Amino acid sequence: MDNQRPKDLIPASEARRILHVSPYKMAQLIKENTIRTYPNLLDRRTKLVSRGEVLALIPNAEAA
């Protein structure tokens, strides 16, 4: 296993719901490397992202 993988990985679709953004905007955030993706070892069709990175994009995330 890759030691560089964060422990708090969630599907990109869940991150999109947390951020309340469209699929297009989520793809844009990923393309711009605002949010890094990691392969899902169990399902190659989905991408995983760090929940911490997602929450860091929300103002006042400590309240979330």
The predicted-structure confidence for 12-42, as pLDDT tens digits, reads as follows: 999 999 999 999 999 999 999 999 999 999 9
- On whether residue 4 sits in a domain, the answer given is no
Q: Is residue 52 part of a domain?
A: yes
1 is a domain residue: no
pLDDT for residue 4: 83
Per the structure, how many domains does the chain have? 1
**Residue 61 pLDDT > 80, yes or no?**
no
Q: Structural domain of residue 41, as residue ranges?
A: 9-63
- Position 64 scores a pLDDT of 44
Q: Is residue 31 part of a domain?
A: yes
- pLDDT of 63 above 60: no
Report how far apart, in Å, the C-alpha atoms of 37 and of each of 6, 30, 47, 63 are. Answer: 10, 7, 6, 25
**Has residue 30 been placed in a domain?**
yes
Specify if 17 maps to a domain.
yes
Write out the two tokens for 3: 């030691």
pLDDT band at 60 (very low <50, low <70, confident <90, very high): low
